[in-house]
Amino acid sequence: MDLENQLNAPTKDERLSALRALASAPAGERQPCNVNNHIHTTYSFSPYSPSMAAYKARQCGLITAGIMDHDTIAGAPEFLEAAHILGIAATCGIECRVDFKQTPFAHRRLNNPDQAGVAYMSLHGVPSRAFGEVQAFFAPYRTARDRRNRAMAENIAALLRPFGLSFGYERDVLPLSLWREGGAVTERHLALALCNTLIGRFGRGAALLGFVEGKLKLAVPGKARDQIADENNPYYAYDLLGVFKGYLMPRFYVDATDECPKPELVLDLARRTGSISAYPYLGDVEQSVTGDKRSQTFEDPYLDDLMQYLANAGFMAVTYAPTRNTHAQLARLRELCVEHGFFQVSGEDINSPRQGFLCELLNDPEYHNLIESTWALIAHERLSDREISLGMFSEAAIRDFPLMQERVDVFAAMGREMYA
């Protein structure tokens, strides 16, 4: 196994040892705009371990990189160490689903394509001293999610049974995850296990496509159809996964209930630990960048009301991925962020080898505030690791710099100085 492949080795020590050996490898050209705060790893779902994610980030020329896994922060210590080895700045976060059933948006489809009344929420800038508390907080929710995953695996098994195909959670799904190391198992794990089952039975290309269209009765959109028909496609399983997540999911999905904490519990966790609570804006989707979202309507029809609710509830930030939305969507969102005093954080959601780590739109001066906010986030995380009262949302910081932009400027300058 070559060194780069060892970055996805089974143990953290093996991965970091390979990374140290690769640390002198050429890095991509670093530009001030090369930042990304939303990189998933194998601790939730991704082709990349924390060490591999950090290495790929440096290869692409990122000067800062942020880990963001679902329901777990178990990969963050490795990610920080990997970033330190490679000489890039790093931030740590966690993403979860929260229950909006007791809010005015109980029957609205928020930023979750699969279920109304449930929203994604993220914590950014989680200080390393709080990793244990954050991981413990989400432990019962991971257990609840595991029960639902098993029910969804049974539904997949029922879909396949008429065709003489077997499917099992313990056998096919769990080995794809880092569940036993504190990782999470997601719908993408289930979809990938289904992909592997079908590839094992039909191989790649026409036969598998024929089964998907003829037996599963799935209408595969044009570009994805070409990808699945191509047996030499290097991203075959991930492209097939995208189709299943976007179009087959409703046939095996089970609603998330007790795995979703109330938003006020996560907001309280953020305040206790010195983390930054954020709402990840999705926005109406016409054509999915990642290939796994149908054309759907999300927050845009009621965005003004939602942003007012988030401000009243105590959310500190709004996150968004510039490449995922139109200029008009982002202009409206950013105006509302300023109106309500939200910290703005960007990040390109990375969980597939097709996705690039760089956001070219950050070259546009209009979005340079997202570069500044990344450095402010880094300073906040490092300072909050020493003492919560030093963070961006402490009483002292708000008193001394009541305007969000002024606070961002001050903390961004400190973040750059830390990594000068």
Claim to verify: residue 246 and residue 281 sit in the same structural domain: no
- As a whole number of angstroms, the distance between CA 189 and CA 212 comes to 19
Among 379, 312, 335, 300, CA closest to 124: 379
- As a whole number of angstroms, the distance between CA 388 and CA 391 comes to 6
Q: Are 113 and 293 in contact (CB under 8 A)?
A: yes
- In this structure, is residue 257 part of a structural domain? no
Number of domains in the chain: 2
For residue 305, the enclosing domain spans: 3-138+271-418
> What are 285-314's pLDDT values in tens digits?
875 444 445 578 999 999 999 999 999 999
Q: Are 100 and 241 in contact (CB under 8 A)?
A: no
From 202, 222, 251, the end of a domain falls on 251
The owner of tokens 């109304």 is 116
Q: What is the pTM of this model?
A: 0.94
Q: Which token pair is 273?
A: 């630990």
Claim to verify: residue 120 and residue 169 sit in the same structural domain: no
Q: Are 262 and 372 in contact (CB under 8 A)?
A: no
Claim to verify: residue 31 and residue 88 sit in the same structural domain: yes
Among 362, 359, 369, 374, CA closest to 337: 369
> What are 373-410's pLDDT values in tens digits?
999 999 999 999 999 999 999 999 999 999 999 999 99
> What are 7-33's pLDDT values in tens digits?
999 999 999 999 999 998 888 888 888
Claim to verify: residue 148 and residue 98 sit in the same structural domain: no
Claim to verify: residue 407 and residue 280 sit in the same structural domain: yes
Claim to verify: residue 195 and residue 322 sit in the same structural domain: no
- In this structure, is residue 264 part of a structural domain? no
Claim to verify: residue 203 and residue 319 sit in the same structural domain: no
Among 141, 239, 246, CA closest to 198: 239
Q: Are 359 and 395 in contact (CB under 8 A)?
A: no
From 223, 251, 279, the end of a domain falls on 251
From 216, 251, 286, the end of a domain falls on 251
pLDDT tens across the length of the chain (420 residues) = 589 999 999 999 999 999 999 998 888 888 888 999 999 999 999 999 999 999 999 999 999 999 999 999 999 999 999 999 999 999 999 999 999 999 999 999 999 999 999 999 999 999 999 999 999 999 999 999 999 999 999 999 999 999 999 999 999 999 999 999 999 999 999 999 999 999 999 999 999 999 999 999 999 998 999 999 999 999 999 999 999 998 999 999 999 999 999 999 999 999 999 999 999 999 998 754 444 455 789 999 999 999 999 999 999 999 999 988 999 999 999 999 999 999 999 988 899 999 989 888 899 999 999 999 999 999 999 999 999 999 999 999 999 999 999 999 999 999 999 987
Claim to verify: residue 128 and residue 28 sit in the same structural domain: yes
Q: Are 168 and 153 in contact (CB under 8 A)?
A: yes
At residue 347, the pLDDT reads 85
How many Cα atoms sit within 13 Å of 148 on the Cβ side? 20
**CATH code for the domain of 294:** 3.20.20.140
Q: H/E element holding 92?
A: strand 89-99
